[in-house]
Structure 1
């Protein structure tokens, strides 16, 4: 049971969400501009801040639980030769010849171009970028755009929170 809880990223995800909401709560409980605006009835910036935090947490869960583009079976060989796979649409001209794929030395599936085996997940991932320990997931073909969007929203929330903590007190 403990191996499943620790191995699934449950603790990392729980810690991230708790820390995010505790910091948000602290910014509203201490004497900051967010609290002063909330007390005077000006709810635009406090609501916007809370919505950004909520979007950040939702994107975090989406990216961390999303399939990054795992190569699961040798069916990718059929998709690859037919031109169905995403990475073949723009990069490789369509031919009638079968394109040879390499086999992964770890999981023994045929890897499409630009895929790599992740040592942490023990899966091959299409367009493998990296394994992110903060989301406990790989960043690959299917979740790369969402990961960049998550980082952008998280960066805005972080800068705004730091500004409130540093300059938002009198």
Structure 2
């Protein structure tokens, strides 16, 4: 029994060290800025790569995360577990926010892309609804007009193909 416990402890330690090394490398490559909220930073990096944008220098930039052709994008990313039923995104911005587009990136639990929604900010503001005590945008309200064609966008960017199921 001790051998099995020791093996599990070693495997766990090795996996944690691998994760720490991966975070360090992703930081060196500019994919993430810090060890906080990997999913959000990955979503921001992905959108900047898809649309050839420039990430904000600060992780705490007011309102926006990326500039693309002088337009400011706010990106929200989710990694959905198969057991998660949530299908909305928190929306905590005023109508005067310094944002041109509101983008929602939905990954599955293995970080394969499920959907990307790109909504002009003023339109996003009109779609806000209250659920419980939070202002949110429901993804079902975006399906008809704001879904990005992932295959079309990513097919010419070989470094991004890891995010789609082929």
- Common fold by TM > 0.5: no
Q: Tell me the TM-score normalised to structure 2 length.
A: 0.23
Q: Relative to total residues, which structure has the larger strand share, 1 or 2?
A: 2
Q: Tell me the TM-score normalised to structure 1 length.
A: 0.23
Which structure is larger by alpha-carbon Rg, 1 or 2? Answer: 1
